[in-house]
Every structure is written in C-alpha cells, then in structure tokens.
Amino acid sequence: MAKKLKEAMLYQKQQDRRVFCQLCPHYCVIDEGKRGICQVRENQDGLLYSLVYGRTVTQNIDGVEKKPLFHFYPGSKTYSLATAGCNFHCQYCTNWQVSQMSVEEFAECGVEATPEKIVSTAIEAGCQSIAYTYVEPTIFFEYIHEIASLAHSYGLFNLFKTNGFMTAEMLKICHPYLNAANVDLKAFRDKTYRQMGGSLQPVLDSLKLMKSLGIWLEITTVIIPGINDEPEELADIAEFIAQELGIDVPWHITRFFPAYKMENVQPTPLEILYEARDIGLGKGLQYVYFGNFLGRGNQDTVCPTCKQLLIQRRGFELIENLMQSNQCPFCETLIPGVGLCHQVS
C-alpha cells in the first residue's frame, strides 16, 4: 500500500458506499475496498483515494524532442516523471515494468517527492518544463494538479505524453496550466482499442478538445504489423488529423520493435513507414516525422513552402535551429508551434 493517500478528485459518492470515478472514460463504479481499472484509485470507506500521490517511480531530465514534441521549444530540457499504473493494458507497452506495476510494488520502490521538491529540482536542472510521461498521466492526476499548478506559477511549462483516454472534465481543469501534449493515436479502429482496454471515440474527443483549448498538440502512431498498418487505416488517421485538428499538427509515425507481450512480432518494415509518410503528406499534413528510425532527414523540420531546412535533428537530438521568429527565415511562411526560435544555451 502506498504510504501516503490523497483523496481523489473527480468522483461522486454513490449508495452502499460505492464511488463513481469520473477521471477517465472507463467511468468505474467502485465498490468499497476495491480499485478501479487503473488499479491506483481505491474506495476506502466510501471515499476514493489515489494510491500513488506524492511518490515517483522515475525522474529524468530529457530533451523535449523525446516526448516527442518537435514544435515546442526545440532543444529545451524537460523534467520527466511518472508514478505507476495505467488505464490501458497494451500488449506492446515499452514501459510495462512501470505501467503494470502493482501499487504494493510501487510502495516499495517509489521515491517520495513533494510538488515543491519536484519543481525546485526542475528549475535547478535548467529545465523549461515538466513532463508527465512514461505511464498514462491521467491516473496520477491529483499529484499532477499540484505539481503543475506550482510549476506554472514559477514559469515552467507542463507537458503530457498521454494515450488521450481522459474525460473532458479533467482536461478542462488541466488546461490553464497544460501547455502541450503528445497523444498516442494508437489506431483508428475501435476493435483495436477494445483489445487494449479502451475505446477510440473518447481519444478522438480528447484530441479535438485539446485543440480547441489551445494546448499545443502533436500526435504519435506506433505502426504495428498486422494491427494498424493497413493503408486504409493509416489514411483514416491522417485524414482525421488534417480535417479535425489541422494540417499543421505534427504526426510522428513510429517504428514498432518487439516488446512485452508482442516479442514474436517483427519490427515494422521500413517500406510501411515510407508509405505512411506518403499517405500523411497526401492528406495534406505538413509535418510528418519518423520515430525509432534514424534515416537522414526523417526528424528534420522543413518549410512546407520553400522546402528549406529549418530545424535539423538526429533522432531526438537537436543539431541546428535556423528559426529566428515564428516565420521561415527564407520565405516568411508561418511555421506553427510554440517557442520555435528557442536557442539552446
């Protein structure tokens, strides 16, 4: 059991000491003494508690490109942290040791960290932001709420790396201090999402709401052979991004490598990645990037009008940033993003 409990936000008390959790679209009705699907929110005596508040399982300093966020303060450092738990159970999770960790295991290996300590450490490390990542941030919302509010008051940005399976109520509470998010759009078939323990429509709703709230948005799709690699489905993803979110929203198409319960699946063939990129560009997307594949130029930001190189990267490492404002220095085309002219000191 976690050493410190925090009464949860976004829930309602029900009859017979049940509680109705409104944090994510599972909308769990939890009996007394039981936990929700995420396994980190527990009904104790008719009150819902977070079991992961105040402790982290990992804290790291990352480049913001690792989230990946390519159009948000390029080259800046972000202080990344996570607790345990997730509201999905993906078969290919690369962080399964943490996301599927039990609360009891987390209580043994987690490190206590107050919001004040996290914010001060991030500032001392020269980070411009704090990223809630590695596992689904929605499930440790109470902890995030306090950290992010404090970080915002000190001028730090707050970032989500998320599966997007969250309620509108949570997003509306978050949005005053949530500056950017990379959302995994894992597929475009509800059947696939059901196999991962979720559903598609709430993710699409979250994406549209984030966009309308002014949160900087980038999308990642891990292309998995036999799961979501059919051209028709990739076209549906690209069309949704272009039509519902905007052609300026970056799409990171990422190569799958065997992991967790999908060790027997081969890595994504490179030709599928190239085909996906062509599909995205064909649907009008202006910024399509590759992940987990370091072919030359695949992570670079190029002006969609004059095709000049603007930001050069090698993987998640920024090599050169030619941006001096929010416009292409060669043809003055507006380049969407936040802090694109940020220069690494």
3-state secondary structure 64-120: HHHCCCCCECCCCEEEEEECCCCCCCCCCCCCHHHHCCCHHHHHHHCEECCHHHHHH
pLDDT at 315: 87
Q: How far apart are CA 54 and CA 113, in angstroms?
A: 6
pLDDT at residue 297 in the model: 84
155 in the same domain as 120:
yes
My answer on whether 44 and 69 are in the same domain is no
Residues 18 and 63 placed together within one structural domain of the fold: no
Distance CA 76, CA 340 (A): 10
Mean pLDDT by 10 residues, the chain (345 residues): 77 97 98 97 97 96 97 98 95 91 89 97 98 97 98 98 98 96 98 96 98 98 97 98 98 96 95 97 98 88 98 93 95 97 83
Count of structural domains within the chain: 2
In this structure, the chain runs to a length of 345
My answer on whether 102 and 188 are in the same domain is yes
pTM of this structure? 0.96
pLDDT value of residue 295 = 81
Cα angle value 328/333/335 (rounded, 5°): 70
76 and 27 in a common domain: no
Q: In terms of residue numbers, what domain contains 213?
A: 55-294
Cβ atoms of residues 263 and 305 within 8 Å: no
pLDDT given for residue 345 in this prediction: 67
137 in any annotated domain: yes
Per the domain annotation, does 288 fall within a domain? yes
CA atoms within 13 A on the CB side of 38: 32
Which pLDDT score, from 0 to 100, does residue 1 have?
A: 40
- Whether residue 177 is found in the same domain as residue 154: yes
Residue 223 lies in a domain: yes
User: What is the token pair recorded at 252?
Assistant: 């990171």
Same domain, 189 and 268: yes
